[in-house]
Chains A and B, each alone.
Chain A
Amino acid sequence: MTRARKPAAGALATPPCTSRPADAKPFPLTQPPPKRARKAGRAPGAAEPAERPLELRLLADMLRIRRMEEKCAELYGAGKIRGFLHLYIGEEACATGAMHALAAGDNVVATYREHGHALLRGVAMDAIMAEMFGKAAGCSRGRGGSMHLFDVSRRFYGGNAIVGGGLPLAVGLALADRLQGVCRVTACVFGEGAMAEGAFHESINLAALWQLPVLFCCENNLYAMGTALARSESQTDLCAKAASYRVASFRADGMDVRAVFDTVSRAAQQVREGGGPAFVELQTYRFRAHSMFDPDLYRDKAEIEQWKQRGPIHSFSAQLKAEGSLTEELFLALDAEAEAEVAAAIAFAEQAPWEPVADLLKDVHTPAAADERGAR
């Protein structure tokens, strides 16, 4: 679904991008897994991950997220991962399709259910796993944990665990790009629960008013923790809410990785061409509880089972097999590759050292402050 939008009168339009940003290299759609992992799992004669056709990369990345998170659940049970752990199992098509639809130089701001987004933006699985273990080799030096994965070098501005908290940041990142004449999309991922927050309404209004290049990407998994959409929103048509701000709105089946990729690609293209912000609703479902503390009492087991029938990995691999572009042998090889990458990441996290307690207060302030703040 697409709704047309006219810029507000007097709005300052973002100039369309005629060229890609300076740092936009061809996107290495996935980080090649560590060598040992690739050797362990690769089917004889299979292509390097980055050289595979898009379909296989999408499938492989969904498998990487799934296998990583299944192990996370086990490691949580074993006490290796603590705190809140929010699994994305069932929703992999959303991150996979959406992250593949972005350029390498784009910004991403995500939520606390962001393991998959971080991984597909190129944060090494080793660093993600080490972060969940609380180790100094983690992508946030063990300061953030599962909910706060960061890699600013890849323009991944975090796991934000305040619902809606990342949306104003995305508007600001896009504003900074506009003021500096940089052509870049800032994608902001959030759940449908965030659309009840004032932060959503303030942010989308600002982005539309100022015609900023923000891609609002709503992963609608139907439950804000335990509260069903219809119990939290007077208007359950999320695209209608976004469209009321005169923002182009798109909807896609979030269980279908191709549909997500195509829809987010179109929306991102429109944003990149100076069309102002866009909104995408990805209709999806999480198969697991909200977090490891959630007894999942608010949903029918039958409903969960029904959604599982549409699981994004098996439905996409069945499609590919029917089209003749995937064999069972290749599927197993991709799966083994993912498993090997996860095993290597766990081994890395296990052996990684703890940060010394003496460093507790490090990074509260930027060190240069001491030099710059003086009399001037």
Chain B
Amino acid sequence: MRISYREAMRQALREALANDARVFLMGEDVGRYGGSYAVSKGLLEEFGPERIRDTPLSELGFVGAGVGAALGGMRPIVEVMTVNFSLLALDQVVNSASLLRHMSGGQCSVPMVLRMATGAGRQLAAQHSHSLENWYAHIPGIRVLAPATVADARGMLAPALADPDPVVIFEHAQLYNLEDDLLDDWRCDIARAAVRRPGTRASVFAYGGCLPKALQAAEELAASGIDVEVVDLRVLRPLDIDTIAESVRRTHRAVVVDEGWRSGSLAAEVIARIAETCFYDLDAPPARVCSEEVPIPYAKHLEDAALPQPAKIVAAVKELLNV
């Protein structure tokens, strides 16, 4: 059945709400408005205002309330409109959710799922377009996921809710309209990265909104006879270094694509892990395609220029291969 990423996410939410009375969804405009990206459209009518809970514009308050509700035996799904707004709630993620278990000597768990839109590409300018997944991936105690396919949009929520610790799910806003056939086997192992396209000459690692760009680049490279592997990192913390290293050992070349800024990026972490794990398998220095170090601008041509694009990925691979 062909469905959109948005619909896949909605199916996952509906299933979670129907299967477990402890699950509820909370966030700005998730109810009457139907979700700022229409992900939760229709759920208010189905599950009522106690479980599809509209909040005021109080990111710190309602994310913290999600942490408290998780401590109190619920399985909250908290939606924040965008990663930029999540900074208002970062205190409760860093100073509560992620560390309460350790700081209390293992007395409590925080089984909360925090969902948010991320990324650029819709001319929303600098306060609605950033990719700060690496900020979250820096924090011990949480798991960070980036579904980049319709199947993962459908399959990641259930294991995220089953995880007794906080899980952050980043949904790239450019992916909501992505359509694909949802096969029967959409279940997802949220510990593992996924090889999306096998190949031999180089490994291209990407996640979230950059995965379609990496796949498009692979198509273009294939047309000129260069066969590359595309690996969807999809679990940003903890990184699945086994899958990453296996791929590098097959292809001996690595390009990491990341919509975050280059300095201190997730791409930097992936390359450091590759260097630590399989340096002698590399035939060339690893390369990165990241966002330019500039706030994301409004004008379309400038926004495009600031972001990783298929052409930049193609160029990076060709440079590694000296072709």
Q: Which residues does A use to contact B, with CB under 8 Å?
A: 12, 107, 109, 138-144, 148, 150-153, 157-158, 160, 162, 165, 167-177, 179-180, 198-199, 202-203, 205-206, 209, 362-366, 368-369, 372-376
* Contact (Cβ within 8 A) A150 B69: no
Let me know if A364 and B141 touch, CB within 8 A.
yes
Given A168-B60, A168-B92, A172-B69, A369–B165 Cβ distance below 8 Å?
A: yes
Which chain A residues lie closer than 8 Å to B92 at the CB level?
A: 165, 168
A12 contacts which chain B residues (CB < 8 A)? 49-50
Q: A179-B24, A373-B191 are in contact. Are A168 and B61 (CB under 8 A)?
A: yes
Closest residue of chain A to B109, judged by CB? Answer: A366
Interface centre among A143, A148, A172, A205 (most CB of B within 10 A): A172
Query: Is B105 in contact with A150, judged by CB distance below 8 angstroms?
Result: yes
B164 sits at the interface (CB 8 A): yes
Q: Judge if B188 is at the interface, Cβ distance under 8 Å.
A: yes
In the complex, chain B residues whose CB is within 8 Å of the CB of A177? 72
B67 contacts A172, C-beta separation under 8 Å: yes
Contact with A along B123-145 (1 / 0, CB 8 A): 00000000000000000110100
Interface stretch (choices B94-102, B274-282, B298-306): B94-102
Nearest 10 A-B pairs (CB), nearest first?
A172-B68, A168-B64, A176-B72, A141-B105, A202-B61, A363-B106, A150-B104, A172-B65, A202-B58, A366-B164
Q: Give the CA-CA distance A109 to B189 in the complex, in Å.
A: 36
Q: A109-B68, A365-B165 are in contact. List 16 more A-B contacts (CB 8 A).
A: A138-B105, A143-B105, A151-B107, A162-B96, A168-B61, A169-B68, A175-B69, A176-B74, A199-B61, A363-B102, A364-B140, A366-B109, A366-B164, A372-B162, A375-B159, A375-B187
**Chain B residues in 8 Å Cβ range of A180:** 22, 72-74
Chain A residue nearest to B140 in the complex (CB): A364
- The answer to whether B162 and A206 have CB atoms under 8 Å apart is no
B186 shortest CB reach to chain A, Å: 10
Shortest CB-to-CB span from A105 to chain B, Å, is 12
Q: Which of B69, B74, B101 contacts A364 (CB 8 A)?
A: B101
**Inside 8 A of B96's CB, which chain A residues have their CB?**
160, 162, 165, 168-169
Q: In the complex, A157 Cα to B63 Cα: how many Å?
A: 17
B66 at the interface (CB under 8 A from A): yes
- The complex places the Cα of A150 from the Cα of B107 at a distance, in Å, of 8
Residues of A within 8 A of B60 (CB): 168, 198-199, 202
Known contacts A365-B101, A375-B189, A176 near B58 by CB under 8 Å: no
Decide if B70 touches A172 in the complex (CB within 8 Å).
yes
Q: Which residues on B sit within 8 Å (CB–CB) of A153?
A: 107
9 pairs, A vs B, C-beta closer than 8 Å = A141-B105, A143-B102, A150-B108, A157-B108, A160-B96, A162-B91, A175-B72, A180-B22, A203-B64
B240 contacts A by Cβ under 8 Å: no
Query: Looking at chain B, what size class is its interface with the partner chain?
Result: 35 or more
Whether the Cβ atoms of A171 and B162 lie closer than 8 Å is no
A202 partner residues in chain B, CB cutoff 8 A: 56, 58, 60-62
B11 within 8 A of A: no
| Chain A: minimal CB distance from B143 (Å) | 8
Residues of B within 8 A of A (CB): 22, 24, 49-51, 55-56, 58, 60-74, 76, 91-92, 95-96, 100-109, 140-141, 143, 158-159, 162-165, 187-191
- In this complex, what residue of B is CB-closest to A370? B191
Tell me if A179 and B74 are in contact (CB < 8 A): yes
Residues of A within 8 A of B106 (CB): 141, 362-363
A143 interface neighbour in B73, B104, B108, B187, Cβ under 8 Å: B104
* Chain A residues positioned under 8 Å from B191 (CB to CB): 373-374
Complex CA distance for A7 and B159, rounded to whole angstroms:
39
- Report if A167-B103 is in contact (Cβ < 8 Å); known contacts: A12-B50, A365-B141, A376-B158: no
Q: What are the residues of chain B within 8 A of A209 when measuring CB–CB?
A: 56
Note all chain A residues with C-beta closer than 8 A to B100: 158
* CB atoms of A169 and B71 under 8 A apart: yes
Residue from B65, B107, B188 within 8 A of A206 (CB atoms): B65
Give A211 to B104 CA distance when docked, in angstroms.
Answer: 29
State how many angstroms separate the Cβ of A323 from the closest Cβ of chain B.
42
Q: Distance (Å) between the CB of A24 and the closest chain B CB?
A: 16
Report the Cα distance A206→B63, complex, angstroms.
12
Q: How far is the CA of A209 from the CA of B143 in the complex (A)?
A: 32
Q: A172-B67, A362-B106 are in contact. Are A206 and B61 (CB under 8 A)?
A: yes
Which residue in chain B gives the minimum CB-CB distance to A202?
B61
- Chain A residues within 8 Å of B61, by CB: 168, 171, 199, 202-203, 205-206
Closest to B101 in A: A363
Given known contacts A139-B105, A179-B74, A376-B158, A171 and B163 CB-to-CB distance under 8 angstroms: no
A141, A176, A363, A366: the one contacting B73 at CB < 8 Å is A176
Distance (Å) between the CB of A136 and the closest chain B CB?
A: 8
Contacts of B76 in A (CB 8 A): 172
Complex-state Cα separation, A354 to B70, whole angstroms? 31
Within the assembled complex, what's the spacing in Å between the Cα atoms of A171 and B163?
A: 23
- When distances are taken between beta carbons in the complex, the residues of chain A under 8 Å from B72 are 107, 172-177, 180
CA–CA, A150 and B71, complex, Å = 13
A148 and B107 CA atoms in complex are apart in Å by 12
**A168: nearest chain-B partner, CB-CB:** B64
- Interchain CB contact under 8 A, B103 and A206: no
Question: How near does chain B come to A356, taking the closest CB pair, in angstroms?
Answer: 14
Q: Which residues of A contact B188 (CB under 8 A)?
A: 375
A233 CB to closest chain B CB (Å) equals 19
B102: min CB distance to chain A, Å? 5
Write the nearest CB–CB distance from B265 to chain A, whole angstroms.
23
CB atoms of A373 and B74 under 8 A apart: no
B165 x A165 contact (CB < 8 A): no
Within the complex, the shortest CB–CB distance from A271 to chain B, in Å, comes to 16
Contact (Cβ within 8 A) B101 A175: no
> Roughly how many angstroms separate A218 CA and B165 CA in the complex, as a whole number?
31
